[in-house]
Homo-oligomer: A and B are copies of this chain.
Amino acid sequence: VVTIRDVARAAGVSIATVSRVFNGSSRVSEETRKAVRSAASKLDYWPNSAARSLTTSRSQVLGVLLPDLFGEFFSEVIRGIDHAARREKLQILVSSSHTDTDALLAAARSMRGRIDGLIAMAPDKGSAKAIHQITRKFPVVLLNPRFATNGCPAISIANFEGARAMVNHLTRLGHRDLAMITGPPGNVDAEERLRGFRTGLADAGVTPRAGLEIAGDFTESSGYRAAIKILRRRPRPSAVFAANDYMAIGLLSALRDAGVDVPGDMAVTGFDDIAIAQYLNPPLTTVHVDAYELGEQAMRLWVESTRTPTPAPPSREVIPATLVVRNSCGSTQPRAAEARARRRWGVSLAQPASDAAPAALPRSRKSAPVTSRTRGRVLGGR
């Protein structure tokens, strides 16, 4: 392994000079600069970043802590972070699959000294103290926290608003007897969506029947199982809101198996707008969440919060959600619904369908996808 010493020797200068050349630094004569460069490339010298960050105490690396890398949602978050990081000349050190608080903390500890900061998503509410401990060691941006973030910038998703809007949409279509398939207990997104569901019912003055909040765990199979329970209820609910699209897919499978027509006999809706959603049969009405943007904005927030000289009040941002009405809920007159929405929520319409590329597809694609028309409105805000 060739070090700065070898280069210095070969070029006939001191190691300080070599360092200066490699840091593009101040006053080095053109002559010695050339000598150093040529010696370095002759020896194929690659500076040791660990040593460098030991002295400078900066690394140009950003840590990313996620509960899982699974599914297109987290993949998109990572991609958003990565692209933004690239612009800032940062690399990202990823550690995922933290099912428990100890693993989360251990991962953060092992990053000490090799990262300049952290973007972290806590798996559940239980990890609040762990997160706070981490916060004392690095500048952290929190993804989608539920707990108080005292002093730590955070960015989250308009789960509540999205779910509420979905339920409002269903009640406006005339549904009064709604079921929900919930996500795993303790999961922030799941709980916010459930809260939105309940609030949405209250908005319409609907008193919910008992037993129509069926437990799911965000997997397709749990959606299938939940469907079986729902189909046993008498009278049958006329609409089901699944807390994510995967469960909605399972639900659709079950309804198809049971010979229940969607949306004729039952309306079905989901949450997330995964890439598949628009290709389902029938195309799924759901809430679009831009995971890429979540990652990208988290990165932006981190840069702002660290580069800012005066410690501004910690930002707390929200990535909006978009209601995407397709055929699985038997939508009628979208125009009228939108007008009502605008009046009620004071939000603008989403971009027309042809530009509304699903998050998982290239942003560059231009042609219309093979899909039914989609249409949405933006919910939640910054």
Q: Which residues of A contact B (CB under 8 A)?
A: 44, 46-54, 59-61, 69-72, 75-76, 78-79, 82-83, 86, 91-97, 107, 109-114, 133, 136-137, 219-221, 223-224, 246, 249-250, 252-254, 256, 275-276, 279-281, 360-362, 364-370
Q: Which residues of B have CB within 8 Å of A111?
A: 49, 91
Known: A75-B72, A113-B49, A280-B370. A97 touches B86 (CB 8 A): yes
B276–A60 CB distance below 8 A: no
A253–B48 CB distance below 8 A: no
Given contacts A49-B110, A82-B96, A91-B93, 18 further A-B contacts (CB under 8 A): A46-B109, A46-B112, A48-B113, A51-B113, A72-B360, A75-B79, A78-B78, A91-B94, A91-B107, A91-B111, A92-B94, A93-B93, A94-B94, A114-B114, A220-B361, A246-B362, A249-B370, A250-B367
Q: Which residues of B have CB within 8 Å of A280?
A: 279, 370
13 A-B pairs, CB-CB below 8 angstroms?
A46-B137, A47-B113, A49-B113, A50-B50, A59-B114, A72-B75, A82-B94, A91-B110, A92-B93, A220-B361, A246-B362, A250-B367, A276-B279
Q: Which residues of B have CB within 8 Å of A97?
A: 82-83, 86
Q: Which residues of B have CB within 8 Å of A76?
A: 75
Q: Which residues of B have CB within 8 Å of A219?
A: 362, 364-365
B61–A253 CB distance below 8 A: no
For the complex formed by this chain, how many copies does it contain in all? 2
B113–A220 CB distance below 8 A: no
Q: Which residues of B have CB within 8 Å of A133?
A: 44
Q: Which residues of B have CB within 8 Å of A59?
A: 50, 114
Quote the shortest CB–CB distance from A136 to chain B (angstroms). Answer: 7
Q: Which residues of B have CB within 8 Å of A361?
A: 71, 220, 246
Quote the shortest CB–CB distance from A367 to chain B (angstroms). Answer: 4
Quote the shortest CB–CB distance from A371 to chain B (angstroms). Answer: 9
Give the nearest-CB partner of A82 in chain B: B69
B221–A365 CB distance below 8 A: yes
Q: Which residues of B have CB within 8 Å of A92?
A: 93-94
Interface residue from B61, B72, B365 paired with A220 (Cβ < 8 Å):
B365
B221–A367 CB distance below 8 A: yes
Give the nearest-CB partner of A51 in chain B: B54
Which are the 8 A-B pairs with shortest beta-carbon distances? Answer: A75-B75, A48-B113, A279-B279, A50-B113, A224-B367, A46-B112, A49-B113, A220-B365
A112–B276 CB distance below 8 A: no
Quote the shortest CB–CB distance from A369 to chain B (angstroms). Answer: 7
Q: Which residues of B have CB within 8 Å of A71?
A: 360-362
A233 to B318, CA, bound (A): 51
Q: Which residues of B have CB within 8 Å of A86?
A: 96-97
Known: A50-B50, A91-B94. A69 touches B78 (CB 8 A): yes
Give the nearest-CB partner of A63 in chain B: B91
B52–A253 CB distance below 8 A: no
